[in-house]
Amino acid sequence: HFYKRLMGKDKGKGGGGAKGGGKDKGDKGGKDDKKGGAKEKGGGSSSVNVRHILCEKQSKCLEALTKLEAGEKFNEVAAKYSEDKARNGGSLGWMTRGSMVGPFQEAAFALPVSSLANPHYTNPPVKTQFGYHIIMVEGKK
């Protein structure tokens, strides 16, 4: 279950936020600085209302991306293609900074807020240990 694994894995570093994440990823030190800058630019948002499409294989994820580019709704493509158990049109709901895996979190906070009617999503997909994600943000706070 992607969501539970995601939450469980990162619970320990949740309190530390972006800084805590650097603990087990030594090579990410430089990226943490960038995150700090992005945070200020984004009005200091600490959580995002996020949807994603998760595919283990890049080819399947790119196929889903083609459907999105052809104008299919994000939630419908997510229902068809996503291998995540968050079957609610790919919605993960509100996720706080520090509760997501590094590359996913960086992409989510960098994206502009958009809607299903006019979505902005990660292209190319973001790779994490879970597979390839197409991420879309519906809100920030």
> Whose CA is closest to 73, among 134, 126, 130?
134
- Could you say which DSSP state residue 28 is in? G
Those residues with Cβ within 8 angstroms of residue 62's Cβ, 6 or more apart along the chain or in another chain: 125
Tokens coding 70? 């052809």
Q: For tokens 């902005």, name the residue.
A: 120
* Pairwise CA distance, residues 81 & 55, whole Å: 7
Tokens coding 10? 């990162």
Show pLDDT as tens, one digit a residue, over the chain (141 residues). 444 444 444 443 444 444 434 434 334 333 333 333 333 344 578 999 999 999 999 999 999 999 999 999 999 999 999 998 767 899 999 999 999 999 999 999 999 999 999 999 999 999 999 999 999 999 999
